[in-house]
């Protein structure tokens, strides 16, 4: 018997607030279904979307290389290969664009630490989802990750779990009102907490597209190393977030201009 979707997503498509929400539901469905490929029917059952909507989003994901279609009618989250992951625990992460991955890899080379890109999911339990990671083949990180069995938490966790989510919470005005910790994070521009990997801390900065908070960029480093160099590493991470924001804004501008050009042609 096909599992029923969670109660909070059993609503009609016309009740969704945006196409972005529907895309997140498809991504969430594939994450919850687990590793490997899954049929369109399974995605529909887990997302609560209509067949045409789920199929359209999945095909868009295939075109943008977020999803792959191993066989006709089945889909899976892309295994990122551009940033040199070294642990099976990371292989369920969806890939970001090549340009975004290169920015993350540049920060990794600049700092020689592990870099992660997170997005947020505000349906149900507000969560942060890791959508790309550049580990630079850090064997000490790979060993710590394997020893702590932190892969699932590294991939997804509640927004309040660690710096990657807290820095996003601080940027969401309706959620940060009256919270002294979030106000402090908002003022200093970054958050620092222990990471899901034992012995490693996480430093995260917000990622914006214009005035819209779209995620966070995080640096994972050994505790003692990050404590000694927090300000310098924060500056470097902010530089990368700014570069990514410019790319996102440029992409949005191109999308706005293209219909005008098509109409004029």
Residue pLDDT, tens place only, 217-263: 999 999 999 999 999 999 999 999 999 999 887 554 444 443 444 44
User: Would you give the end-to-end CA distance of the chain in angstroms?
Assistant: 52
**Percent of the chain whose predicted confidence (pLDDT) is above 90:** 40
**Percent of the chain whose predicted confidence (pLDDT) is above 70:** 77
Q: Distance of CA 221 to CAs 16, 142, 193, 217, 224, Å?
A: 39, 12, 11, 13, 8
With beta carbons less than 8 A apart as the criterion, state whether 30 and 38 touch: yes
Three-state DSSP class for residue 217: strand
List, as own/partner pairs, every contact residues 58-65 make where C-beta atoms lie below 8 angstroms and the sequence separation is at least 24, other chains included.
58/26, 60/23, 61/23, 61/26, 61/27, 64/97, 65/95, 65/97
pLDDT per residue as tens digits for the range 152-175 = 898 889 999 999 999 999 988 665
Average pLDDT for 114-131 = 88
Q: What's the pLDDT score for residue 53?
A: 92
Six token digits for residue 230:
């927090």
Which residue, 195, 171, 165, is CA-closest to 183? 171
Q: What's the pLDDT score for residue 265?
A: 44
Q: What's the pLDDT score for residue 92?
A: 36
- Of the pLDDT bands very low, low, confident and very high (cuts 50, 70, 90), residue 2 is very low
Q: How many CA atoms lie within 13 A of 247 on its CB side?
A: 17
Q: Name the phi and psi angles at 26, rounded to 5.
A: -65, -45
Task: Measure the CA–CA gap between 245 and 253, rounded to whole angstroms.
Answer: 12
Task: Measure the CA–CA gap between 199 and 171, rounded to whole angstroms.
Answer: 27
Which residue, 115, 124, 64, is CA-closest to 94? 64
- Of the pLDDT bands very low, low, confident and very high (cuts 50, 70, 90), residue 124 is confident
Q: Name the phi and psi angles at 222, rounded to 5.
A: -55, 145
Task: Measure the CA–CA gap between 254 and 248, rounded to whole angstroms.
Answer: 10
Question: Strand order in 38-39's β-sheet?
Answer: 38-39, 74-77, 67-68
Average pLDDT for 202-230 = 94
| Range ranked top by mean pLDDT from 30-44, 83-97, 124-138 | 124-138
Quote the pTM value: 0.62
Of 265 and 165, more confident: 165
| Non-local CB neighbours of 149 within 8 Å, separated by 6+ positions | 89
Q: What's the pLDDT score for residue 193?
A: 97
Residue 70 carries which DSSP code? Answer: S
Average pLDDT for 132-159 = 88
Q: Could you give the angle at the alpha carbon of 91 between the alpha carbons of 142 and 242, nearest 5°?
A: 80
pLDDT > 70? residue 80: no
User: What radius of gyration, in Å, describes the C-alpha atoms of the chain?
Assistant: 19
Q: What's the pLDDT score for residue 35?
A: 62
């Amino acid at each position: 018997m096909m599992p029923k979707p969670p109660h909070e997503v059993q609503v009609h498509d016309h009740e969704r607030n945006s196409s972005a929400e529907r895309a997140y539901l498809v991504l969430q469905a594939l994450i919850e279904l687990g590793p490997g490929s899954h049929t369109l029917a399974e995605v529909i059952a887990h997302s609560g979307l209509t067949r045409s909507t789920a199929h359209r989003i999945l095909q868009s994901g295939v075109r943008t290389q977020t999803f792959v279609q191993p066989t006709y009618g089945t889909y899976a989250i892309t295994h990122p290969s551009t940033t040199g992951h070294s642990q099976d625990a990371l292989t369920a992460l969806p890939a970001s664009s090549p340009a975004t991955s290169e920015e993350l890899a540049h920060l990794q080379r600049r700092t020689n630490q592990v870099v992660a890109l997170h997005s947020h999911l505000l349906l149900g339990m507000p969560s942060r989802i890791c959508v790309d990671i550049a580990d630079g083949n850090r064997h000490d990180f790979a060993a710590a990750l394997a020893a702590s069995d932190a892969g699932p938490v590294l991939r997804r966790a509640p927004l309040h779990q660690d710096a990657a989510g807290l820095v996003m919470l601080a940027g969401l005005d309706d959620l940060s009102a009256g919270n002294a910790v979030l106000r402090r994070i908002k003022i200093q521009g970054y958050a620092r907490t222990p990471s899901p990997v034992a012995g490693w801390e996480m430093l995260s900065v917000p990622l914006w597209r214009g005035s819209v908070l779209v995620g966070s960029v995080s640096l994972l480093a050994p505790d003692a190393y990050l404590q000694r160099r927090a300000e310098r590493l924060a500056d470097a991470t902010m530089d990368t977030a700014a570069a990514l924001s410019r790319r996102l804004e440029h992409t949005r501008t191109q999308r706005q201009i293209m219909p005008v050009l098509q109409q004029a042609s």
